[in-house]
Amino acid sequence: MQTASLLYYFLLACWCIDFAQNQTNEIPRRQRRRMRYRGSRKGSSVYHRRNRQPQIKTSTTVAVVPSIPLINIDDGITEVFDSLIGLGGHESSYSVLPGKVICDETTCPSLTCPKTMIPEGECCPVCSDIVQNISLDDTPEISGASPEPNDPSDPMLLQPLHTQAEMDELLRREKEELEGREKKIHKKDEENRKRKEKKSQEEKKIHDYEAHQKVEEEISRREEEKRRAYEEEELQIEKEEEEKRKENKRPEQERKQQQSEVEEGEEEEDEHILRGDVFRMPPRFPIPVPPAEIPPLPTGCSISDTTVSCINGKLTQIPPITDPELTSLELEGNTITSIPDEAFNGIPNLERLDLSKNNITSPGIGPQAFKILKKLKRLYMDGNALVHIPPELPSALEELKINENHLHAIDEDSLQELKNLVTLELEGNKLSEANVSPLAFRPLKSLSYLRLGRNKFRTVPQGLPTSIEELYLENNQIEEISEICFNHTSNINIIVLKHNKLEENRIAPLAWINQENLESIDLSYNKLYHVPSYLPKSLLHLVLIGNQIERIPGYVFGHMKPGLEYLYLSFNKLNNDGIDPVSFYGAYRSLRELFLDHNELKFVPFGITEMKALTFLRLNNNKIRTVPPERICRAIVNDDNVDDDSNDDEEEVEDSHLEHLHLENNFINTRELSPYAFSCIRSYSSVVLKPQKIK
């Protein structure tokens, strides 16, 4: 019995030793496999806890331990261990002793990688790239420490080991997690990249737009500079041509030398331009020199936008202004006496120049004073001391006013090159048919408005341009209108001849009767004794105020089409004997205004009731004593309304278009007026009866 007990204890001890030995051999194999497949963190946590103690690696000879047969306690002893009887068997690769590990390097597998290393705690070398590729999260699990045998009573040692399928599943899950993390990182990087690309594209668009704006501004600036430079070049060329004309006697060799120097300078300038950037001007234009500092405006001057105003500024000379953008200069009411050639060099783009009410004389104006002003359209020189029209006026001029001067001659060259002139005013001078050439107005191809009032003309000037539309000749000494005065003025529309010395018998029958566009004639304050015959067919407006007219001949307006509309006969000597029943024939349906005030009429003239379109009638300041009902308002007898029991006829009054009726300052007794005298007038407030003269 004791022998059986001893044998049992001995077998139990052997089994424990063999179990521990198998455990120490199994752990390094699993660690090597996990290093090879980059084992998962989850599956290696058990081994990490088991291998907390550092191991000691040695190179001593491996001890031979006899193999122990596996024992199944339930089934009894199934095998007999050769180690019990000292039989030879296979030797273990490791001999586990308490506190150290003995390595057998002969059992290590052969490696083909270029570089190897022995991890800490291991006996066999491994490829160095495997160790480098291991993630930081796996470092604690594959530190390479060889497991130290622990206490067999440790419960972790008794846990069942993972199978190969479980390890593969762990590796697959870890690989999927790694791929998921890599995809997320890649996706995030892609989003960041797209966001950066979008931002860079937006920044690029903004930058391109700003660059484009700058380029356009630069191009416009260059174009403006080019234009100015071109104008300056033209001016320079003109000056050079003028100098050449003045210096024709200079030796030919000297001129050639000067020309070669100029060409060399241009070549150098062109070469300099070619070396510039793409925005430089073409070689044919010189680079403009920066303008000099603009001097301050004199006292009494002000600037607004593109206008400099020096009205009544007590200036004695034209101020030195340098501003190419200036388009209007007002110098009215100063004491300027002269205009030198260089007066406007700093303002070549001037379009309007007012020099009225100064003391400028003809000798004080330089021959080239206005030549630089290529864009000048309006020149006002009223109220100066000029005796001649200034020379070399710009061809762009459209309006020229030289009223109230001392002009005493206009020759055929005075208005040369002014083909664009539309308005010419020369009133208040000393002009006459004797000192105005018949060819003076020939160059004015666009002239439509001509004022020659307050001069010394005795006849209508000859040679008027065909384009003339309005002619003002008031306050002259005109006595006659010949048949040839308006032969070439088919477009004329208005003629003003008031305050002259015209008589009706000095107006030629064919002077203007065939004019088709002449609509208004003013013959006020002349020496007419009756309304002139042979008036233009197209006449609409006839003014005869302030003459000595005593008579309106019959049918004098009968040939007019569409008919006279305005007839002013105020301040004449008309009486009822001078107005025939057919004096207004031809104007009954067209006449709108009739002025007969300040005459010698004793009653309302015949024919007023026939004027269907009349709206304004003046009969004031005459000698009228009564207004019969039928003289202004026409009564219509209606026979259909006759009462059988009465002999009285009822009358209907036709409505009139009269809006203004003046009868004041006559001898009318308003109490004796018939109630039907003004019944055709829609508003009684339109009738003016007071005051009246006393008998």
Are 138 and 277 within one domain? no
The number of distinct structural domains making up the chain is 2
Distance CA(198)–CA(183), nearest Å, equals: 22
Q: Which helix or strand (DSSP H or E) is residue 126 part of?
A: strand 126-127
**Cα 91 to Cα 39, 83, 109, 117, distances in angstroms:** 30, 11, 18, 27
Range in 267-276, 323-332, 361-370 with the lowest mean pLDDT: 267-276
Q: Is the dihedral of CA 46, 50, 55, 57 positive or negative?
A: negative
Residue ranges in 247-309 assigned as alpha helix (H): 252-274
Query: Is residue 402 a part of any domain in this protein?
Result: no
Q: Which residue has the higher pLDDT, 101 or 351?
A: 351
18 versus 328: which is more confidently predicted? 328
The answer to whether residues 76 and 203 belong to one domain is: no
Q: Classify residue 76 by its DSSP letter.
A: B
Last residue of a domain, one of 117, 132, 162: 162
- Name the residue range of residue 9's domain: 2-162
Question: Higher-confidence residue: 445 or 633?
Answer: 445
Which residue did the predictor score with more confidence, 113 or 336? Answer: 336
Is the residue at 572 inside a domain?
no
**Dist CA 489 CA 515 (whole Å):** 9
Residue 480 pLDDT class (50, 70, 90 cuts): very high
Mean pLDDT to the nearest integer, 652-660? 74
Let me know if residue 75 belongs to a domain.
Answer: yes
| Residue 298 included in any domain | no
- Sheet strands (E) in 207-351: 302-304, 307-309, 328-330
How far apart CA 223 and CA 238 sit, in angstroms, is 22
| Same-domain pairing of 131 and 69 | yes
Residue 373 has pLDDT above 50, yes or no: yes
Please identify, among 162, 189, 209, the residue that sits at the C-terminal boundary of a domain.
162
Same domain for 202 and 107, yes or no, is no
Interval 395-402 mean pLDDT: 96
**pLDDT given at position 102:** 53
- 24 vs 544, more confident: 544
Beta bridge mates, 352: 328, 378
pLDDT, tens digit, for every residue of 174-208? Answer: 888 888 888 888 888 888 888 888 888 888 788 77
Rounded Cα–Cα distance for residues 167 and 42 (Å): 10
Assess whether pLDDT exceeds 80 at residue 532.
Answer: yes
Considering the domain architecture, whether residues 18 and 103 belong to the same structural domain is answered as: yes
- Can you tell me which residue has the tokens 């009573």? 153
Among 30-34, 195-199, 596-600, 673-677, the minimum mean pLDDT is found in 30-34
Mean pLDDT of 321-338: 94
Kindly report the number of other CB atoms within 10 A of residue 246's CB atom. Answer: 9
Same domain, 27 and 154: yes
Cα–Cα distances in Å, from 483 out to 462, 468, 477, 494, 528? 12, 17, 18, 17, 19
Task: Give Cα separations from 660 to 197, 507, 587 (angstroms).
Answer: 84, 34, 19
Residue predicted with more confidence, 338 or 92: 338
pLDDT of residue 36: 45
Domain contains 510: no
pLDDT cut 70: percent of the chain above it: 70
Determine the average pLDDT of the residues in 493-498. 97
Candidates 669, 542, 667; CA nearest to 600 is: 667
- Alpha-carbon distance 65 to 87, whole Å? 12
One domain, residues 85 and 157? yes
281, pLDDT greater than 50: no
Query: What secondary structure does DSSP assign to 621-686, as a single string?
Result: SS------HHHHS-EEE-GGG--TT--PPPEEE------EEE--SS---GGGS-TTTTTT-S-GGG
pLDDT at 587 over 90: yes
Same domain, 101 and 152: yes
Distance CA 311, CA 296 (A): 17
- The label of the residue with tokens 């000749």 reads 473
pLDDT higher at 75 or 125: 125
Is the pLDDT at 636 greater than 70? The verdict is no
Of residues 655 and 525, more confidence is placed in 525
How many angstroms separate the CA atoms of 267 and 470, rounded? 56
Asked whether residue 476 is assigned to any structural domain, the reply reads: no
Q: What is the average per-residue pLDDT within 283-288? A: 51
Please report the pLDDT score of residue 203 as a whole number: 81
Q: What is d(CA 656, CA 418) in angstroms, rounded to the nearest whole number?
A: 53
| 74 domain residue, yes or no | yes
**Whether residue 124 is found in the same domain as residue 184:** no
Whole-number percent of the chain with pLDDT over 90: 45
pLDDT of residue 74 exceeding 60: no
Domain assignment present for 115: yes
Which backbone phi and psi does 543 adopt, to 5 degrees? -115, 120
Q: How confident is the model at residue 254 (pLDDT cuts 50, 70, 90)?
A: low
Query: For position 332, what pLDDT does the model report?
Result: 95
Q: Are residues 85 and 228 in the same domain?
A: no
Could you report the per-residue pLDDT of 138-157, keeping only the tens digit for each? 444 433 444 444 444 444 44
Calculate mean pLDDT across residues 303-308: 89
End-to-end Cα, the chain, rounded Å: 189
Verify that 185 and 273 share a domain, yes or no: yes
Considering the domain architecture, whether residues 84 and 229 belong to the same structural domain is answered as: no
Domain boundary among 141, 162, 183: 162
More confident residue, 673 or 89: 673
- With a CB cutoff of 8 Å and minimum separation 6, the contacts of 491 are 448, 466, 467, 468, 469, 517
Q: Give tens-digit pLDDT for 121-138.
A: 667 777 765 544 444 444
Amino acid 300: pLDDT:
80
**339 contact partners, CB below 8 Å, separation of at least 6:** 318, 355, 360, 364, 365, 366, 369, 370
